[in-house]
Amino acid sequence: MTEIIAELLDQQEILKYLTGIADVEEESGIYDIDPGGWINAGENAIAINERRSERCLIKYELWNGQPPPLGSWDRTWSGDVRFASGRVFALSDYDGDTTYGEAFDLGRRDTLWRVSIHRKALAHEDFTPDIVGVTLLKARFWPAA
């Protein structure tokens, strides 16, 4: 049975604008990836185009196998990515400044991971005014082989 091994809800809101999720030791690789319409993965990074989301929160999950599907999310993407250090964080670039989220440890160096990223934008009908406009992202990782 597939089980979750570890999880982290990054308490730091990502403000203007999420660039993506990168390996903590190889973060510059994210700038070589064109996110295309929304997301694209490359070596050591997942570029995410969230230019319309001024506030994002990310939850990371590590699974021992493919996790069960999630319903009721606006968008979903899945793919493969290798991370050199096995530790990842979110980063954002705005007006020449780069900010970093909390690091999430996948527990293995130089490993190819299957990844699914789910997105949901919070709206007035669902939530209180203080969190309207926040975009939630759930990044789920499991070994590719």
Q: What is the structure's pLDDT at 72?
A: 86
Question: What is the rounded average pLDDT of the residues 18-43?
Answer: 93
Query: At residue 21, does pLDDT exceed 90?
Result: yes
Average pLDDT on 25-49 reads 93
Q: Which pLDDT does position 127 carry in this prediction? A: 65
With beta carbons less than 8 A apart as the criterion, state whether 41 and 107 touch: no
Residue-level pLDDT at 128 = 66
Between 54 and 47, where is the model more confident? Answer: 47
Contact (CB, 8 A) for 117 and 77: yes
CB-based contacts of 102, cutoff 8 Å, min separation 6: 8, 10, 11, 12, 89
Q: What is the pLDDT of residues 103-141, one digit of tens each?
A: 999 999 999 999 999 999 887 666 666 667 789 999 999
Please tell me which residue, 108 or 71, carries the higher pLDDT value: 108
Give the pLDDT score at 96.
Answer: 77
pLDDT at 144: 93
Q: Which has more pLDDT, 122 or 21?
A: 21
Mean pLDDT of the chain: 91
Predicted confidence (pLDDT) at residue 142 exceeds the cutoff of 70: yes
Using CA atoms of 43, 45, 51, 54 in order, give the dihedral in degrees to the nearest 10.
180
* CA–CA distance, 57 with 8 (Å, rounded to integer): 11
| DSSP, res 68 | P
